[in-house]
Structure 1
Amino acid sequence: MGFFLKGLGWCARRPGWWLFGLIPALIAFVLYVVALIWLATNAGDIAAWVTPFADDWGWKGLFRTLIGILIFVVGLGLSIITFTAVTLAIGEPFYEKLSEKVEEDFGAVPGDDLPFWRSLFRSIRDSLMTLVYVLMFTIPLFVLGFVPVIGQTIVPVLGALVSGFFLTVELTALAMERRGLHRKDRFAILRNNKGSALGFGVAIFLTFLIPFAAVIAMPGAVAGATLMVRVRLTPSTLVP
């Protein structure tokens, strides 16, 4: 969590870079607001479509209202996870520069001289693979959400942990790729540092639940992830 706060502090001391990092986050935010408004408006119809077995139930209205709320909550959770990936894809050159500036402030910048288009392609490919992993966890959690008690207590906690871990995966990608670490290597490092990965990611996940916070905090999250990779996650042989 401390690295997230340090990242926010770094941006607070450099408002120019913070505003620079807001541009792609604002673009992604507008896209997601439109999508979530559509989901909220149509959640009832979607709930009716996925629960045809409840047509003859006397309390189908209440049941489908609860399902509609759950669908929206799951959509909100997915939007928080994918917001980072989409924002990083949109703002690849923005956040690459911001991350490099953080590195410069703390010493030499490791170099990975991949052309921009190859770096962007790899970033999109890795984000899609991460999304597949997220869905592998999210779909079972969505089903467990229907189980009384467990769905209202344990499932939200597990959802926050899963979301937090994969947010860290996305946010640390820039700094790790700069050190020549590919997706499998990055996952292995984060699995071996679960405490750091979860502490950082869950703090950001909870922050992103606050309206507009995802936009405001995104540059700080990128800066914090860069600091965490540099100080704690990167093997010593790769630290400049």
Structure 2
Amino acid sequence: MQLTKGMEYFVAGFSLLSQKGLKRFVFIPLLINVLLFGGSLFFLYDWLTQGFAYLNGLLPDWLSWLEWLMWPIAILVILFSYSMVFTVITNFIAAPFNGLLSEKVELHLTGQPINDDGFADLVKDVPRMLGREWSKLVYYLPRAIGFFILLWMLPFIGQILWVLFSCWMYNVQYNDYPFDNHKISFKEMKDTLKAHQGLSYGFGFAVMVLTSIPIVNLIVMPAAVCGATKLWVENYRTQFRS
């Protein structure tokens, strides 16, 4: 089943993290994720604590129990909304390193380099990589706003749509790195992923679930890059070889 196979590719990404020759390329994306994700969650928790304390001070004593209701709601919103938004932002910053990691994973899996560019050429390519991340951000934001509104207007249907959208975006976010390394357009990449929806939603669902788990989510980004590259090599690479 393609859905299960997509999940398996993400899981396979974790085993690639420790492969000889890849560890040093994993370190920088991992460090960026730990610093930004971990730091932001700390400040967000502090902000929520102060906010709830302020709101609790405004409530009469007989309504103080509402604080215990607000915390679970806030945590659910953070897990399923904040994680997706922050992932997009973090990957924007880490894009050049994720692209390099994907390139090295493909070399490890196939034994064939994508190109022979040196470090100077990689630096010159950074603006293009950031432009690609900007395309993903432009694609994501208006849709995220629309689905987020539906999340509150149509609770049950909205939640299903938000989960499906999140799965799709995690899939787009990480599968784009190997596609971009081969200079395949953003539109062509999306069309290809849509043609294999089982793989796409299975992979995205697995990423979404682990991204919502504290501590574990700190290593999801490099693992997802590795898993997506393996998915590319075994399913799409031949299709785009000249």
Interval of TM-score (by shorter of Structure 1 and Structure 2): 0.7 to 0.9
Correspondence for 1:98: 101
Correspondence for 2:138: 132
Correspondence for 1:144: 150
Correspondence for 2:59: none
How far apart, in 2, do the equivalents of 1:195 and 1:211 lie?
27
**Identity of aligned pairs, percent?**
27
2:15 aligned to 4, 9, 19, which one? 9
CA contact (8 A) 1:28 1:83 kept: no
CA shift in 2, pair 1:65/1:154, >3 Å: farther
Correspondence for 1:176: 179
How far apart, in 1, do the equivalents of 2:48 and 2:150 lie?
19
Counterpart residue identity of residue 110, structure 2: F
How far apart, in 2, do the equivalents of 1:229 and 1:70 lie?
37
How far apart, in 2, do the equivalents of 1:161 and 1:228 lie?
20
How far apart, in 1, do the equivalents of 2:124 and 2:77 lie?
33
How far apart, in 2, do the equivalents of 1:3 and 1:85 lie?
21
Q: TM-score, normalised by structure 1?
A: 0.74
CA contact (8 A) 2:33 2:221 kept: no
Structure 2 counterpart SS, 1:131: helix
Q: Unaligned regions of 5+ residues in structure 2, if any?
A: 1-6, 53-61
Correspondence for 1:55: none
How far apart, in 2, do the equivalents of 1:100 and 1:74 lie?
35
Q: How does 1:56-67 map to 2 (within 5 A)?
A: none
Is 1:226 the equivalent of 2:229? yes
Computed over aligned residues only, the root mean square deviation of the Cα atoms, in angstroms, reads: 3.8
Correspondence for 2:241: 239
Correspondence for 1:50: none
Q: Unaligned regions of 5+ residues in structure 1, if any?
A: 48-58
CA shift in 2, pair 1:95/1:44, >3 Å: closer
Aligned residues: 231
Counterpart residue identity of residue 6, structure 1: A
Structure 2 counterpart SS, 1:171: helix
CA shift in 2, pair 1:40/1:175, >3 Å: same
2:115 aligned to 107, 111, 116, which one? 111
Counterpart residue identity of residue 2, structure 1: E
Q: TM-score, normalised by structure 2?
A: 0.74
Deviation digits for residues 33-78 of structure 1 (CA, Å, limit 9, x no counterpart): 333344444459989xxxxxxxxxxx99899997886566445434
CA shift in 2, pair 1:124/1:63, >3 Å: farther
Is 1:188 the equivalent of 2:194? no
For CA contacts below 8 A with separation 6 or more, give which structure has more relative contact order: 2
Correspondence for 2:58: none
Correspondence for 1:201: 204
How far apart, in 2, do the equivalents of 1:112 and 1:185 lie?
24
CA contact (8 A) 1:145 1:155 kept: yes
How far apart, in 1, do the equivalents of 2:181 and 2:137 lie?
22
Counterpart residue identity of residue 111, structure 1: N
Counterpart residue identity of residue 137, structure 1: R
Shift of 1:27: 2.6
